[in-house]
Chains A and B, each alone.
Chain A
Amino acid sequence: MRLGDKVLKVRSKNAGPFWITIDIFCGTPEAFAEVSEKLETQRVADLTGTPLQLVKRFDIEDLRVVKLSIPRPVVQGSRDDRDMHGAALAVLIEEMEL
């Protein structure tokens, strides 16, 4: 089952010009527990082309949110940037199989 089918919403946004942060809003405690347990940080690193040691991860039980922050694959607005607001990255997470 796709991660996006289990959770309320996945959002990705710039966190300044040099970082993107991905918030997985799980909704229920059950969905949070499952995502928190099964989502391997390595897979997010692979999907986004980020070295594992640069991925910051926060599993926030109170909010039922798993948050992942990565240095932008390309700096915001530079010649090779395709997505000024970093919003499309969320789709890669939504579409991954848990």
Chain B
Amino acid sequence: MTTRVLVPSGVLGLGFDRAALSRGVAMKPDIIAIDGGSTDSGPWSLGAGQSKYSRAATKAEWRHLMQARAEAGVPLVIGTSGTCGADATVDWMYAITAELAAELGQKLTVARLYSQQPARRVVQALEEGRVTPLTPAPGIDADGLRAMANIVALGGVEQVQAAIATGADIILCGRVTDTATIAALPIARGETVGGAWHGAKIAECGALCSTNPTSGVILVEFDETGFTVEAMAQTALCTPHSVSAHMLYENSDPFQLYEPGGYLDVRGATYTALDARRVRVEGSEWVPGPYTVKLEGARAAGYQTTILAVLRQQHYVTHAQEWADKLHAFLTAQITERMGLTPPDYTLEFRMIGVNGALGALENRQGQPAEVGVLGIVTAATQEIAAEIGKLINPWVLHYPLTEDEELPTFAFPYSPATTDRGPLYEFALNHVMALEDPMSAFRLTVSEVG
């Protein structure tokens, strides 16, 4: 048997070549699968339970995919809905789907796979010794777990297969691994398990495994001995190099990929060009292991207010770090005197943009920039305190002199008010796996009709 999976792009919201999508639909896929999320942009999405992509972009692209699904007559599945795959973002995706179904006149069955974890379930697993840290992992305890804004577990093929088995037209998954939505159907239909996971990893970023990454659309045909991958855009070619190099991407280990229930080992894989456009891959191995799912959690680690001043006078540019250090010491005393606060009740940091803004202490180059941006970041227990500190330091960030005997300088503030309240600072606080006896025991499915 063969199973064809059409992957429109690496993530919903980044766009794809519509002619290539049409070509993919004409190839008669068995399922259309796209990813909807990632941790790559940081902890905010999971902490806030919101999508990082705009609703307008998401809806516009989802409309095309719902039309493609209707034409192909096969299920459409999205993994990690709304960037983080929390329950709230699955429901956000469901609302978009229901709106579009009405607008397009489609009557559909929609399955929702929820991956969010109540803290008590993870606490219980921790107490039963079923939570294991990965390297490196933050320390956790019951109180820390209860303080998380959101916790999700990454589902694998078992949970996606359960959703597909409902017969739904559209499947909106919460957090699942990037590969699970692609590998699920081929494995359910008896294709080679190693090949299914490997092909899924190659295709999970869409056309990034081809010579034209922005074209988006990829078709993978799985069978009992391996898989064949082809880009659907005429300008994109899959070559043994472009395909095999994708195993490097965002993987700390390019040969072993851990998934729920085992790991993929591609050391024995061979990549062969079938022609100028298509690559055949065989020899990938699936090594079964204990059934564990990875956990992701985000918690609020204070609230932030920022301020940005730009130094342009050469005297200040040359001595920017010295200026910032003196200013920091002065402000620390002011904050204690006027607000009664001392670190670690709050933190104040100045980052020197143009000096070492990106690398901090790891920076090993020095230059003579025309200007230096000084980004002040205040982190405190509440937004009110952070904002108050921001207002307190504002006049000195604008006027603080390098030495006592010089006139008051004035630096460039790019906007008014000079301070920006950023809201909560979230941080990733879990790098653990949770063992499950039944893969569905930490996930739930609901099925409903729309349109």
Q: Which residues of A contact B (CB under 8 A)?
A: 13-19, 21, 23, 25, 47-49, 56, 58, 60, 62-63, 65, 67, 69, 71, 73, 75-80, 82-85, 88-89, 91-92, 95
**Number of residues of chain B lying within 8 A (CB) of chain A:** 42
The tally of CB-CB contacts under 8 A between chains A and B is 101
Closest CB of chain B to A53's CB: distance in Å?
11
- 6 further A-B pairs in the complex, CB-CB below 8 A; given A65-B245, A92-B359: A16-B252, A62-B244, A78-B301, A79-B347, A83-B359, A88-B359
B319-327, B360-368, B394-402, B413-421: which lies at the A interface?
A: B360-368
The segment from B40-48, B83-91, B184-192, B439-447 that touches chain A is B40-48
In the complex the two chains form, is B351's CB within 8 Å of A79's CB? no
B383 at the interface (CB under 8 A from A): no
Chain A, residue nearest B361 (CB): A49
In the complex, residue of chain A having the shortest beta-carbon distance to the beta carbon of B358 = A88
Could you say which residues of chain A place their CB within 8 Å of the CB of B43?
17, 76-78
Residues on B with beta carbons closer than 8 Å to the beta carbon of A63 = 241, 244-245, 248
Q: A17-B43, A76-B39, A82-B357 are in contact. Are A47 and B364 (CB under 8 A)?
A: yes
The reply to whether A75 and B427 form a contact with Cβ atoms under 8 Å apart is yes
**Interface positions of B (Cβ within 8 A of A):** 39-44, 134-138, 241, 244-245, 248-255, 296, 301-302, 347, 351, 357-362, 364-365, 377, 379, 425-428, 431
Query: Do the beta carbons of B357 and A77 come within 8 Å of each other?
Result: no
> B250 and A21: CB pair below 8 A?
yes
- In the bound complex, do residue B428 and residue A77 qualify as a contact, i.e. CB atoms below 8 Å apart? yes
Establish whether residues B364 and A79, one from each chain, have CB atoms under 8 Å apart when the complex forms: no
Q: Which residues of A contact B252 (CB under 8 A)?
A: 15-16, 19, 21, 56, 69
Asked, given contacts A14-B40, A58-B253, whether A49 binds B248 with beta carbons under 8 Å apart, the answer is no
| 25 pairs from A and B in contact (CB 8 Å cutoff) | A13-B250, A17-B296, A17-B428, A18-B137, A21-B248, A21-B250, A47-B362, A58-B254, A58-B255, A63-B248, A65-B245, A65-B248, A69-B253, A71-B135, A71-B136, A75-B138, A76-B39, A77-B43, A78-B428, A84-B41, A89-B362, A91-B359, A92-B359, A92-B362, A95-B365
Residue of B nearest to A14 (CB): B40
Q: Which of B251, B296, B357, B426 lies in contact with A15, CB distance below 8 A? A: B251
